Amino acid sequence: MQPSSDIKRLLDIMAALRTPESGCGWDIAQTFETIVPYTIEEAYEIADAVARGDMADLRDELGDLLLQVVFQARIAEEKGAFDFGGVVEAITQKMIRRHPHVFGDARDLAPGEVEALWARIKAEEKSAKASAPDSARHEATSAGLLHDVILALPGLSRAVKLQNKASSVGFDWNDIRAVLDKIREETNEIEDVLEGGDQNALEDEIGDLLFAVANLARHAKIDPESAVRRANAKFERRFGFIERELASQGVALGNATLAEMDSLWNAAKARESVDPEFAGKSPAGG
């Protein structure tokens, strides 16, 4: 079977994989629910390829995510719900509807006006869904301001979306320093709970701290998931330096003292300040 850049070829391949008797047993056994974890994983792998600047890997990962869309659409088609063409039509309509400043009469809008227009159009879409005859949909869309912030999002991303929703009606701090004060308050509460040894209370307070840190990132216009990925990469890079240096000294990682490892950690930090390549950055600081 020859590869192809034609989307129809991919749709045909998925149909063949899902065909009873002649298809793939694993593919045939999948459902909407069993495929979701793979879809989420592929989205993260795209983010990883972007963070690494690996364009070949990004191409492959985008293909993997496209396969997830095709897979879910095929299952829906088999159930008589919709097909891949319906997915394309829906997003095409949405993009045209949400960009009247490009495809309609609302021309020459400033960035702030575009954002306001986008928010109004989304509100109109939400209202239309709420009035739909489907009672389950009506119940869901009538549940409140925060109802449509999906549960499956990573915790920090969901925190930011919840905060943005609340901010849209004025429930927000006006000064980022107030968020810093809240973080200090939460760390003090964690310290108090540590004295009592209550694990449930400790989990609650650490959750409150993480929620407040996500809020700080939001006010600073920084994606907290991206920030923590960078922190993870930094930790891996510095710890890898510790491992290599200890190995060059003939010292097993488990035999090194904390003081020795801490000294090498500081050496890694110092090297990052003078060596952009070691720090995972381009010479221009990217």
Q: Please tell me the pTM assigned to this model.
A: 0.64
Dmax over CA atoms of the chain, in Å, equals 72
Are 17 and 89 members of one domain? Answer: yes
Are 90 and 25 members of one domain? Answer: yes
Are 16 and 65 members of one domain? Answer: yes
pLDDT of residue 134: 60
Residues of the chain falling short of pLDDT 50: 135, 140, 282-286
pLDDT of residue 83: 96
Question: Does any domain span residue 136?
Answer: no
Question: Does any domain span residue 132?
Answer: no
Could you tell me the CATH number of the domain that includes residue 211?
1.10.287.1080
Domain count, the chain: 3
Query: How many Å apart are CA 239 and CA 248, to the nearest integer?
Result: 14
Query: How many Å apart are CA 247 and CA 279, to the nearest integer?
Result: 21
pLDDT of residue 136: 52
How many CB atoms are located within 10 Å of the residue 150 CB?
Answer: 9
Q: Which helix (DSSP H) or strand (DSSP E) does residue 196 occupy?
A: helix 176-196
Are 266 and 183 members of one domain? Answer: no
Amino acid at 87: V
pLDDT of residue 100: 83
> Is 192 in contact with 206 (CB distance < 8 Å)?
no
Which residue segment(s) compose the domain that 239 sits in?
Answer: 224-279
Are 69 and 45 members of one domain? Answer: yes
Are 67 and 39 members of one domain? Answer: yes
